[in-house]
Amino acid sequence: MKTFYSCRCFYTKNIFLKQFGIHIQYDNKKQFISQFEQVLRDKGCNTEEQLEDVIQKIQEEIDRRQSLGRASLARQRIISATYQPRHEDIYKLKEDYLAPEFLDLVAQCKSEGVTADAVMKRLQPQDGSRLYKFHVFQQSFCNLFLEEIEHFENSDCPKGRPNTMNKYGILLNELGFDEDFIIPLRKHYLSPITSILFPDWGGNDLDSHKAFIVTYKLGDDLDLSYHYDNAEITLNIALGKEFTGGTLYFGDMRTERRTDRYSRYDHQPMFGLLHRGQHLHGAMPIEDGERYNLIVWMRSSRVRNQRCPMCDDEPDLVEAVGFGDGFTREDSVVDVCTAS
């Protein structure tokens, strides 16, 4: 019943320059040059032409962001009208797809009187890291899902890209996985877990998400620079296929850059890693094979309406399609109980 919004900062901030591995802000050319010319020089952007080229790329990225909502809706329409799924039945979540250990974990989290300590004892996170690994999917489901993803990749359908940092991947709402798969997965299975483990990060009232597949293969994207997610809580599930390398590393929370200690996490197919979106992380290069991961960025409007995690300000709302970036206008919530 909610209308979701994005924050205006999406058009100017956190623009990732892959070539230089930095995020920049672009309000206008003058501000950009005075703020970033030296940084870029230090990273090897030495000539006037190179700088102009960077600015040109930034402007293209801003244009892309401004037309993103419309372009996504247009792709969604084409996909739903023309795409022939290979495995139609997997678009609807069934418990058969989920690992028994996962169902057990969810049941524990839903049980009366459960404590975070009891759940943590089961998941055994590295000391203080708040990184939680658990089995999510059955192998048989991962196989079908990967086949479906590849079938879509090989189709003529238009494809968006997950975010500015991952060029290769698929937005699952465009493919039609939101309604009957990701939404019930979030509401009925993930929320009970996040309520126990991350109540301080909106885990007990997640109300939207962005779900996508990222792919890493030799020749395409290999690694992922150090960053944080536009999410309160992220679930990152390895689907396969065969790969070596691609280890994730986690440092500090974004607002607490204190140490240079990192926690390492090696992906294991069918297993997910649950972490706070603002926990800084990156991925080492894949060394061989292909890696497909399902990422669910889960959001709580209650938390992000206070402060946009991308600009650290009160969000300046702009209209969006679908879940937007998960912000709501407090007065836009229709309370169905009192309205009826």
9's contact among Fe ion, Zn ion, none, with CB below 5 to 8 A by partner kind, is Zn ion
Q: Whose Cβ is closer to Fe ion: residue 193's or residue 283's?
A: 283
Name all contacts of 152-161 with Cβ < 8 Å and 24+ positions apart: 152/83, 155/83, 156/82, 157/75, 157/78, 157/79, 157/82, 157/83, 158/74, 158/75, 158/78, 158/79, 159/75, 160/71, 160/72, 160/75
303's contact among Zn ion, Fe ion, none, with CB below 5 to 8 A by partner kind, is none
Least CB distance from residue 310 to Zn ion, whole Å? 5
Q: Is there a cis peptide before residue 241, judged by omega within 30 degrees of 0?
A: yes
Q: How far apart are CA 181 and CA 186, in angstroms?
A: 9
Least CB distance from residue 125 to Fe ion, whole Å? 18
311's contact among Fe ion, Zn ion, none, with CB below 5 to 8 A by partner kind, is Zn ion
Residue 288: CB partners within 8 Å, gap ≥ 6? 218, 243, 244, 245
Residue closest to Fe ion when measured from CB atoms: 229
How many residues bind to Zn ion according to rule CB under 5 A? 5
CB 201 within 8 A of CB 232: yes
248's contact among Zn ion, Fe ion, none, with CB below 5 to 8 A by partner kind, is none
Least CB distance from residue 275 to Zn ion, whole Å? 21
Q: How far apart are CA 250 and CA 228, in angstroms?
A: 10
Least CB distance from residue 11 to Fe ion, whole Å? 21
Residues 124-153 that bind Fe ion (CB under 5 A): none
Near Zn ion by CB under 5 A, which window of 7-15, 58-66, 203-211, 293-301? 7-15
CB 208 within 8 A of CB 301: yes
- According to CB under 5 A, which one of 207, 229, 232, 325 is a site residue for Fe ion? 229
How many residues bind to Fe ion according to rule CB under 5 A? 1
Q: DSSP secondary structure string, 249-278?
A: EEEEETT-------EEE---TTEEEEEETT
Q: Whose Cβ is closer to Fe ion: residue 229's or residue 232's?
A: 229
232 binds Fe ion (CB under 5 A): no
Residues 285-314 that bind Zn ion (CB under 5 A): 308, 310-311
Interface with Zn ion (CB under 5 A) = 7, 9, 308, 310-311
